[in-house]
Structures are given as structure tokens and as C-alpha cells.
Amino acid sequence: MDSIIPLTKELVFIGGGHAHALVLRKWGMKPVPGVRLTLVNPGPTAPYSGMLPGHIAGHYTRDDLMIDLVRLARFANARLVVGAATHVDRSAKTVHVPGRPPIPYDVLSIDIGVTSAMPDLPGFAAHAVAAKPLDSFATQWDAFVAKVAAGTAQPAVAVIGGGVAGVELAMAMRHRLRSTGAQGISVSIVDAGAALQGVSPSVRARLHRQLDRDGIAVHAHAQVAEVTALGLRFADGQPPLEASFVTGAAGARPHGWLSEIGLDHVDGYPVVDHTLRSVTDPAIFLSGDCAHMGFAPRPKAGVFAVRQAPTLDWNLRADLIGQQRKRYRPQRSFLKLISLGDTRAVADWRGFGPSGAGLWRWKDRIDRRFMAQFAELPPMPAPRAPANAAKGVAQRMGQQPPCGGCGAKLGPAPLRDMVSALPRTARDDVLAGSGDDAAVLRMGAVTQVLSTDHLRGFTLDPATQTRITAIHALGDVWAMGAAPQGVLASIILPRQSERMQAASLREIMATAAEVFGAEGAEIVGGHSSEGSELTIGFTVTGLLPDRAVPKAIPHDGLSLILTRPLGAGTLLAAEMQGRARGEDLLNALEQMGQSQGNAAAVLAPDALAMTDVTGFGLAGHLWEMLAPSGLCATLHRDALPFYPGAETLAQQGLRASLFPANRAALAGVLEFADTDATAALLCDPQTAGGLLAAVPSTRAASLLQALHGAGAPHAAIIGDVRAPGKGAAAQALSITLED
């Protein structure tokens, strides 16, 4: 009996807000079988609003307040689509994200918060920073503080908006600027009405006294006419307010596209019923600040999003399974803990306003406890061998499962044995066969290269998987110095409904056509089938304008150039274990999906040998280049480029599943201590890895400059080819440690 559960429903989340983050955590511990969950978010992280003032003040690091959505999505077995949704087609039931095919849904949930951008205020977009979305605001604030500390920016800040959020930010900004040692700090609050109207009178008076003590100027009943490069200009003709950093916190605004998709709304906020479903479209749920609870209106506050999560989780499952939904009952009032910039806070609860360091510590414990839910995800139990299984099954299942490094490729030893045992034909139209990066075929006056690659799913996003697999498959053609020509696709889809299969195929093939089309190649056919997991492969042909660049290095005295960083296998393995930082992983995936066609065009005319670095790692592929001529190489440790995060993970002992086989294949060739993380990354399997070229040393510097200008900013001269020495120096590969 087939135990693979087919996928039949699409659940899509737009936004990584607090409610969605909590539901994702619950989903990871108890998923609904047969549902594919997709999370769409502009970036790899989502900020926790409760800790933003503390971060602005310098009490928390950036990582402290960011929910890592990559780790959370992996835990929930959800695909993460990085991009900002701009439209929902309710008739087609698709979500539109620029740069990729539409994403279908059966049930859609939206939790995108609000924005404090002021599109109608002249100069705001060019010279100010909205306090929401929080992640982009935090990034730009950190950059401004660095400039102030370096003495390249004046410590003058203006906050447009005198509500609790604006006052809290102003006090936090003053505290942070003081920590830089800057002189002449100026922080101002500007409001079109009276400040602090959203709190009780006693708390309002206490906060005004604190603002006076801090020297923070409050400009009440001041209408801003324009934001300029120098600060604010007012409508009533009063003198301009100078500021080097201007932020907008004057109330929340809904994201514009929400009011354009045909849902009933109040001031742009879609109206939901007591089950958190849109009153217009029962297939759409909304939560957090982006929704209007028509059944029980409440102010915009993160506490409601957090408390909506259990009801949202239940009702999403109910709609997907076919059960009864639950009613959400919001609390009538809630405690406000307002930071005072330093490690003190004031509480606003039913007219009372105590303050002090104890309240800050209480708030700090609440916030850290909330974030700990996402930093300390519960471990998933390892699969166990079934009863009465054959000998060796339990041992095999207890080993590290194949990770995504080069699509869980087999080790080098069995592959080399297989290749060496292949029969050789005497055909004069086969100029080069197995053993090189691609076969070289002659057809009349045309010389063609032919290569194939396929990768098992290392990401749950088919578009990302397709893009990187296509670049990976093109690597062999580029390494031979050929121009891509024709492509055959080989697609294995997991079991799913026919509608989902059709959508997946459209997404995969549209992405593939885009990648190959940009390189001048055309998809001419292929094959598809159904299997246990997503696997994508491409067979690629290329035309040689002149000679094929060989893999084997002919002689010594050459320089080695690598076009792309190392460490992809380690990052992919770490992501499967929930140990990679989301930003590091997405940075690597983005680079892996970029074309190397221009880099190949730069290198091919000068390269005496070239290959692409893939499953066998840099050291393994370099050995393949050196061995035919009996040459050696010296690699310069400090020159080796690595993806951010890869060295840290390697130092922690994390290795890709193919690493042991890669290292064993280089026994006697490359020896290093287990604790040498840099050397270990030389055996790290790469997916869509860089081109490795041996070039005349006299040309290396100019080629490197050309590569940097051709879209390969991380290209580096990493070593030299030398003749073998005697004794211990006769090993085929050595690493020179250089400070």
C-alpha cells in the first residue's frame, strides 16, 4: 500500500505577522495531511513589534527582535516565497508576487500589519523613513546611528506623530544617540493635534514630564507641509525644523492593495466576522492590524494578533478538513507597557500609570518569552525502522539523511569507478565522452556539447528549485566554453491533485523558460512523472564557437580563479536541521540562482582548463583537473570566498551528508584536522557552484577585474598550479596557510 499522502489543498499565508508566526509553530507540531502550506513575505524575517523600541534604544540586537521565517517555515514544512504580494485575484484564487508565476490557493490568510508611510506628504518618500514596516525602519535606523557614531551625520531626529508609538520611538532614539557619545543631540516630535491622546490622563502627564526631562521638543498642532533633505517645512510658515533623520509614526494605514481586491472594508481595512473570515469572501481570513473586526471593533495593537492565533489556527484547519469553526472573542481592554528609552517603563491600565525599572524587567520577560517560542523550536522525532525490517535498515535510517548539497549526489568513488568501466566506442563524431564536464559531439561543421543534471528538492519552493537547477545544469556547458542551445526537462512531481499538478508544472516550466531563454537556449521537450518527492532535471546542449575548454590542466605556472563563494552544501544541510540563519540561507540561494554566462564569456578565451564546482566540492573538482597531468596546487586560505554563515556553521562541526565521501576520496591528496573548518569547506558539495578556471598568471588580475564588472563580485584568485615536488610535497593538493 502506498503510504505517501497526496496533496489536495493549498493554504497560503500572506505576511509573517504575529498571528501567522504562532500558527506556523502550531502547524509544525501538528500539520494537516494533504495540505501544502505557502508563506509569502517580503523578507526572511518578521520583526516582533514589542521589542522594536528596545532595539532602537540599543537594548536588543537585531536578531533579538526578528522571527526567522526560514527556520519557522522549515519547521512547519511550508514553502517560503520571498516577495511582497501586490494583488489577489479572487476569481482565479491566486496570489500575485512580482517576478514569479501566480500562486494558487484554496484558503488564503492575510496578516501583513500596517504601514505608517505618508504617500501624500511631499518629500516623505525621498527623505523620510516610515516606522512601519518595522524591519526596513530598523535597518535604516541602524545605518543612521552608525553614521552619527562615525561623525558623518548630525544627531538630529524628527518624529512625525505624537501618539504612544511616536513618543516611545523618540525616547528610544534619544537614548541610543546618547550612547554614541555624540554632542548636540536634537529629538523632536511633531503632531497635527495634541500629543498622547491614546492614553489615560495620568500616563499622559507622566510621559510629558519625561519628555521635558529628556529635552525632547513636542511641536503640537503643527501641520507638516514638506519633508526636505534638511528636515521639515511647516504649512503655517513657522521656521523649518532641521533633522537628519525623519520618521513617520502618525497613525497606521492599511496597505493600498488590500482595498483593491473587492473585499468589504472600513477605511481600507477588510472587515472580518467573528471567525476571522472576510465578510465578503469565505475563502479569505485576515488577522492582526490589517483587519477590521466589524463584530467588535478594537484599536490597532499587537496583543490582538497574538490572541487571535489559536482561533485562526482552529478555523483554518476547520475549513480545510470540513469541521465547525470557532468564534473569536477579543478582550475589552489590555495593559500597555510603554518604554521610556532607558530600562524603565510606564504602565497604562484602566487609568493607572505606575512606572519604574521593575515594569521594564517585566516587559522584557514577556517579550523574551514570546520570542523564545521561535528560537527554541521543539525537535522533531527521527523516523524509526519498521518492525521486522531487514538487517541494516535501522543503521541506515540512523545516519544523517541526504541533504540538499548538490541534490544529494552519490559520492565520488562509486561514480569514478562506474565511469572508468564504461565501454569506449570508436565513433569519430564523439570527440569527448564521459569524464569531462560535457560530451563533445561533432555533426558536420557543427561542434556541440551535451550534459545532464537533476536535483532532488532542497527547497519547498518549486520556482527557486527550478531556477537553481537550471543554473546548475548550465554550469557544464559554460565550463566547456559553449553557448547554451537546447534543453530537455525531466520533472518528477510528488503526488497531488490534478489541479495542483498543473499549477506546479506551470510554475516550474515558466521559471525554466525564463532562465534558459535569458541565456539564448530553448526548451524543446522533456518528460514528467509522479514520485515521492520533487525532482527537477535538465539535459542541455551547447554550441562551441571554437575549441572546447578542457577540464584537465596542461601545465604548471597558472593561477586559479573561482567565480562564486563556497559553503552552499553546509548551509543547505544546516537549514534542514533548523540551524541556518534565514538571511544567510536566502543570500546563498539568491546567488546560486544567478547566471554565470557572462563570467564564462570572460574566462573562456583565456582559460587553459575550466570546470564547475558541484557535488565533489572545490578540492574534489580541482583534483580532477590536476590528476591527468600529475600536477599540484596551492590554495591561499585568506583568498577563499565563502557564503556568509558557512564558516560559522563549519566551525560548529556541521557537515553536508556528502562530505565524508568527498573527504575519503581525497585521502593522501588533501589532509587536514577535523577542527579545520576552512579546509572542511573545500570538500563541501556545491549546488550551482562557481566556475573554477586555470589561467595564465599574467592575465589573472585583469580577468578578475573583468569578472567583477560582469556580475561576479565574489570572484577571487584562490591559488596557483605548481609542479609536483619530492617526498611529502608530492601530494596532488596542498593548502598554504597565509595570514
pLDDT per residue as tens digits for the range 5-34? 899 999 999 999 999 999 999 999 999 999
683 noted as active-site residue: no
CA-angle at 412, arms to 454 and 451, nearest 5°: 35
pTM of the model: 0.90
The CATH number that domain 9-114+254-334 falls under is 3.50.50.60
Closest C-alpha among 620, 735, 616 to residue 678: 735
CATH of 124-248, one of 2.120.10.30, 3.50.50.60, 3.90.1310.10, 3.40.1350.10: 3.50.50.60
Q: What tens digit of pLDDT does each residue of 138-170 get?
A: 899 999 999 999 999 999 999 999 988 899 999
Sort strands 245-248 and 129-130 into parallel, antiparallel or unpaired: parallel
Pairing state between β 94-96 and 103-104: antiparallel
At 475, give phi and psi (nearest 5°): -55, -40
Q: How far is CA 121 from CA 116, 117, 166, 232, 441, in A?
A: 12, 9, 17, 11, 64
pLDDT of residue 223: 92
Q: For the domain 550-739, what is the CATH superfamily, name and number?
A: PurM-like C-terminal domain (3.90.650.10)
- Choice among 54-68, 301-315, 494-508, 560-574 with the minimum mean pLDDT: 301-315
734 pLDDT tier (thresholds 50, 70, 90): low
User: Is 90 exceeded by the pLDDT of residue 431?
Assistant: no
Spell 696-727 as b/e; 16+ CB within 10 A means b.
Answer: eeebbeebbebbeebebebbbbbbbbbeeeee
Does the pLDDT at position 126 exceed 80? yes
What gap in Å lies between CA 739 and CA 737, rounded to an integer? 7
Section 210-229 average pLDDT: 94
Per residue in 594-646, pLDDT (tens digit) is: 999 999 999 999 999 999 999 999 999 999 999 999 899 999 999 999 999 99
How confident is the model at residue 728, as a pLDDT? Answer: 46
Query: Closest Cα to residue 83, out of 145, 144, 16, 28?
Result: 16
Q: Domain-by-domain residue ranges, the chain? A: 9-114+254-334, 124-248, 427-548, 550-739
Answer whether 9-114+254-334 and 550-739 agree in fold: no
- Which entry of 403, 406, 632, 683 is annotated as an active-site residue? 406
> Using CA atoms, how far apart are residues 374 and 18, in angstroms rounded to an integer?
11
Rounded distance between C-alpha atoms, residue 431 and residue 448, angstroms: 10
Q: Note the Cα 243 to chain centre separation in Å.
A: 34
- Per CATH, is 427-548 categorized as 3.30.1330.10? yes
Higher pLDDT pick, 423 / 171: 171
pLDDT digits (tens, 9 = 90+) for 197-215: 878 888 999 999 999 999 9
Which is more confidently placed, 550 or 350?
550
Residue 238's CB is within 10 A of a number of other CB atoms, namely: 11
